[in-house]
Each structure stands twice: as structure tokens, then as C-alpha cells.
Amino acid sequence: MAKNLVIVESPAKAKTIGQYLGKDYTVKSSFGHIRDLPKKGISVDVDHNFAPTYEIPADKKKIVSELKKAAVGATVWLASDEDREGEAIAWHLTQALKLDPKTTKRIVFHEITKPAIERAIEKPRIVDQRLVDAQQARRILDRLVGYELSPVLWKKVQTGLSAGRVQSVAVRLIVERERDIRNFKPEVNFKVTALFGTKADDLPAELAIRLKDADSVRVFLAAAAKETFTISAIDTKPGTRSPSPPFTTSSLQQEAARRLGFSVRQTMSVAQRLYEAGSITYMRTDSTNLAASALESIGNFITKTYGAKYHDSKQYKTRIAGAQEAHEAIRPTDVAREQAGEDDQQRKLYDLIRRRAIASQMSPAQIERTEVTIAMSNRSEVFNAKGEILLFDGFFKVYGGGKDDVLLPPLKQGDKLNLKTLTGTETYSRSSARYSEASLVKKLEELGIGRPSTYAPTISTIQTRGYIQKADVEGTERTIQVLTLLSGAITDETITEITGADRNKLLPTALADMTTDFLVKYFGEILDYDFTAHVEQDFDDIADGKQQWEKMLQDFYKGFHPLIEKSDDISREEASQARELGTDPKTKRPVIARYGRYGPMLQLGEAEDEEKPKFASLPADTTLETVTLEQALEMFTLPRTVGKTEDGQDILADIGRYGPYIKVGKTFVSIKDQDPLTIDEETARMAYEEKLKQNADKYIAEFKGGLKIVNGPYGPYVTNGKKNAKIPKETDPAKLTEAQAKKLLAEAPAKRPRFRRSKAA
């Protein structure tokens, strides 16, 4: 039996560390947390200092048993990650394995390399209870919010919803940004650009001011046709571009999204595998600091590879307040190693991390910027032309990002220029950009909300819960007026452009709108940006020993719980964002837009009326906030009789949960590209006939008792409606007899039972 037992949280990490330690060491994995709050029940005693009740989940009991057996007679080394979550894992191990946390050896390292492991073993410490308390405080507070606030949403808004201290604030950010975009009124003006001829090449330039309307442009162009143009000033200035710091968790997520197209979750998963393989340092960090040994090795590599003039050693100051999660930025463990990773994603991310770390220690790029001012003979307006030359590439050599040189033709002050064309183009100011995953991470970090380990699960949760969807936005077409002066004549034309198109952006659903409004109105403090950031600072203070975790939770709970108690007085109608649009002129009943069980809907009449209310879907491209009375009344004309089939059956058009459709008898046909209010009989007939053809092609053969041979999306199969059986590839499904079909079905494995996944807090 080994004299030493090293426990880490990941099998991959255990495998890598096991390669560096001798035969006296056994390395085993806890497979993450081995104790936690139970999935069911709040499990926090609010009346007794918020004492948590932890349990060992069923799937971890065997692991705990094996670790206990391995720990007998051995010196135990707890080697989980160095952040608060890792410290909590180490502490839970002491509790589950009945080890003394005051004497059990705790080791931490920022990279999984042999020297780092050996240094850690030479200087062990004990479990840092302050870090454990900070993690416990976060876990318990989030459990309190989730388990007390979520049921309020179930009762007042919709069953199955969840609320969370960070996730609800993230949703609020996205909802408010979308409303800003929706309500944005662009300012319109005209940008005037010129193309001048010189003795060498053409010189593009732009009028230094914007003109307010087409009439102003027309007057200006007419006047400019009579002007002479002279270079009145040439201003040349040296400039520099400095490299960015090495990656933190947040900046890695943002840059991997921008350069590689990775999602936040994907970036963290790939980085985790690189870390566990010993290729990069720990990937959950707020710090831009680099260890002295790393600075030395990177500096030597730069000098040897590119020359001394490219090396500029520097230590970056971490800008994020309360950065406590780790002590070094993300970097390669061996800067000379050009490639690492088991697949293409890992290799790409490793290359990005390595180049960023190297570039951070390289010299700034040297730029020469030139600005030319062009004056008019009889008017005060001036044009500007700008050029840029890269004199020394510096860190651009490794990390790129440098613009192509914008070269100006040879010019000198006093030169006369020949005006070739002058163009006034209508322009619109832009609204704020929608959030992508990466820009949302950046905003959360700026506000001090959440920490590196929380960003990926938060973004994943709000999408899974149906608050946010990641989608493309189709733009809308608008007209642009363009006036051009060419050869003394002014032309006026109208062109079109697409505006508002977006790709892979985070969009709020109607559920997010309603839930955010409800929470802001009745639980405003919980969704307040400053409050949420203040809570993060409290966690930092607990980790620093400046605050007791029980006291922090007491202060929070005495303000939070009364809001929960008061929520009983809130009516479901008030929470549903019901908006009365007006009165139906025929029935004199109110028309209401509100959120229902399956999403946004329209209601004709009140629940208290003698006649039951009628319900309808929202028209396409409308929201609860934008739908009008006229649009709503049209929806209550559905279902609409479009016409008849060739055999005389009625064709009805309507909208359901899954979009517009037509119905003939018991046959439903989706018509997603059509409007049920306007679809004509011929189009509806064609859709119905196509559906019948698909149904005919679907069934290869039918026998007694519901036994069928079906053409499925993954190939033909036999079914009796309760059980399916694949048909072997070498068998012609059209030639199967009833007896052969029954035999295939009898020999097929039984359907696996479906299990419901229990909801975690």
C-alpha cells in the first residue's frame, strides 16, 4: 500500500499528476464535490445560524468508500484546485473521510507540471477555512434565493421557473438592452466624402462635419463645384499600440468567441482539458499577474526567437476589484512548446493562449499617423484625410491585430487638389449592440457580478430555462439617399440597405420580459446591480477574514425574507403583465394581451364573465407591448375557413402552440411560411395534398392490429405503436411479411424507461 494518497477532483488531473510522483504516491480522484446540499429541500437551518445539511449523493458513496479504504495508514494530500470551490472540495473530503482539517496536508499549484507539484509537496498548508466559509456563504445564499424566490414565480408567473441571484440579473441586462434597441430612435444626418486627385494617387477624405438633411447636402455640393481645394496642414505624429495583458478567465472567453467562434461553455471545457493535461496554467482566474519564472522563460524565448528589441518585460496590474480566485494569469506551462492538445479545438485554444502570453511581454508596435487638412477657397468647412504607417511591428509579429498600412500619396502643404467626386450619404446613428455570450461576460465582470467560475453556468442556465435564446436576427430593409457631384452635375439616387441584422446574439423571450418586470417591481433589491456586486464583495471579505459568513447571511436574509412573505398579496393577473388593448365592437368585451401558461396570448372577455373568455395567439412579429387592438381582433376570427378540398372537406386555418397550420378532418399541416389570415384555397390545397403524399410515402406496409412498416428519419422500422424494431440493412422492407415483422418486433430490446431529472437549486 502506498505511503501517500493524493486526492484531486478530476480523473484527467489524477492521471497527469500520477506521472510526476513516485511509487510511494497513489493519486485518486473525487470526481468533483463528494458532498453538497441535497437536491430536494432547502437544507439550510435559517433559525440556527444558517447551518447547512450536507449529504453524500448516491453516485458518490462508492467513491467515498474507496477513498476511505485508500486513506488507511497513508498520509493524505488534498490537491483540489486553488480557488474557493477547490478549497471547499478539500474541506468536504476531510469531513467525509473523517480527517482532521487542522492537520491534513493541503497542497495547491497553478500548473500541473513536475516542478510545480514538487514545490507544492515541499510546502504544504492546511485547509483555509476562510475560503471554505466564502464558498459556503455563496452556496447557502444562492440556495436561499433559489428555494424561496422560485416558488413565488411558480405561483405568480409560471410553473417550472427558476430565479437566481446572478442569473436573474444577467437576464435583466439582456431584457433592458433589447428594450433600449426596440425604443431607439436613430438620428439621421449626411456624411460627405470626397475623392481628390493628386500628382500620384487618389486621396480619399471626409468632411469634418455632418450635414443635417438632403437639402443642406445639395446646397453644399453645388457650392463645392465652384471651389478650389488646397492642403492647408499636414500633421504627422508618432504613436504606439501596446499589447494586451495575458488572459484572465473573462478575457479568454471573450477573445475565444471573437477569434475562434467558441461559446463561453465550450471555451471553459476546452481550457479545462488543457489544464488537466498540464499544458496551461489554471484557467479560472481574475489575475493578469505572471510568475517571475514565467516572465523569465517568456523573455528568454522572445529574445532568442525574435531579438532583444522585441522584448519588453512588464507586469500587468489586475483591474477587477476583489480579484481573489487565483494568483496568476492563464499561460502555457512551457512557452517553447508550440502545439498542445488532443483535438483541433484544444490546439486552437492553446495557440491563442500561448500567443497572447508571449505578446504581453513584447514591445509595443510603433506607428506613424498622418492627418491631412484640406481647405476650401471660399468656405470655412474642411476635409480630413488620415493615413497610418507601421514602422515597427513589435507584438504584432506574434499576436496580429495590426491594420494594413493606410498609405497617403506624396503631399505637401499648399498643394492644390483636383476634386473628382463628392458624395453625401444618408446615415443613421446606431443603438447599443445586443449582447453576445462574450460581451455579457464582459458586462458582468465590469459590474462586479459573479466570478470566473460562475459565468459559463449562468449563461447556460438562462438559456436552458427558456429566458434567453441564442439566435440570429434578420435585419429590415431601409432606404438611403445618396447625392453625388460628378463632373459638375449633381445626381440624387435612393439605394437600400439591411439594418439590424445580428448573428449569435442573446435575445430575451417573452418569459424573460415578464419575469424581469415582476422581479424588479417586487424584489428590486435582489436584481439591483450595485447590490449584487456588493454581495460579491461580501464573499471576498469573508475569504479575507474581514467578515463572518453567518453574520453576512443574517444581514441578507432579514431584508430578503420579508419580501417573500409580502409576495402572497400579489395577484397572478398583476404578475402576468395583462394589458387591456380596448373593447371588441361586436361583443363589447375587453381585449387583453397577457402571458399565459404557454406564453404570450390574447384574451377576449374576463374570467368572471358569464360567457367564458376566448383565447388566441399573438400575431407574428408582435409582442405583448406592441400588439394593437386591430391586430388582436383579427386573431379572434381564427379558425378561418379557407375553402374545401377536391373531395369537399373543409380546410380550416389557425395558429397553435407550434405556429400556423391548416386542418382537414384530423389531419394537421404546418404552414410556417404562410399567414393563416390570408392563405388562399389553392395554396392550402397544395399543402394538404403534399402532406397526404408524405403520409403515403411514410407507411411501406400496414398489417392487422396496428402493425406497420414505417419509413423513419433514420431508416425503415417495424412498429406496433408501443415498440419499435430496426429492419436489417440487407432486408428489403417492402418484401417483409407480417410474420417476419412480428418476429423482428418480438426480438427487439424493450424500450428504456424515461426518468425525470430532479431539479437542483
Could you tell me the CA-to-CA distances from 317 to 30, 40, 298, 328, 594 in Å, in that order? Answer: 35, 43, 18, 11, 50
- Quote the cell numbers at residue 434: 445586443
Phi and psi torsions of 592, nearest 5° = -125, 135
Inter-axis angle of helices 510-522 and 129-156, nearest 10:
110
Q: What angle do CA 108, 35, 286 make, to 5 degrees?
A: 40
Closest CA to 249 of 326, 362, 354: 326
> What burial letters (b/e) apply to 403-426, b meaning 16+ CB within 10 Å?
eeeeebbebeeebebebeebbbbb
DSSP H or E stretch at residue 702? strand 699-702
Pick the catalytic residue from 282, 310, 435, 661. 282
Alpha helices in 226-291 (DSSP H): 249-260, 264-276
Q: Classify 480 as helix, strand or coil.
A: strand
Identify the CA nearest to 463 among candidates 398, 406, 508.
Answer: 508
Mapped onto helix, strand or coil, the DSSP state of residue 573 is helix
Residue 670 DSSP symbol: E
Phi and psi at 270, nearest 5°, equal -65, -45
Q: How far apart are CA 553 and CA 68, in angstroms?
A: 33
Residue with cell 408567473: 157
* Contact present, 136 and 127 (Cβ < 8 Å): no
DSSP state of 332: B
Q: What is the enclosing helix (H) or strand (E) of 660?
A: strand 659-664
Select from 266, 242, 451, 255 the least CA-distant residue to 353. Answer: 255
Contact between 639 and 624 under an 8 Å Cβ cutoff? The reply is: no
Q: Would you call 282 a catalytic residue per the annotation?
A: yes
* The three three-digit cell numbers of residue 167, written as one number: 442569473
- Collapsing DSSP to helix, strand or coil, 382 comes out as strand
H helix count then E strand count, the chain: 22, 28
Residues 6+ apart with CB under 8 A from 114: 20
Q: Which residues are catalytic?
A: 282
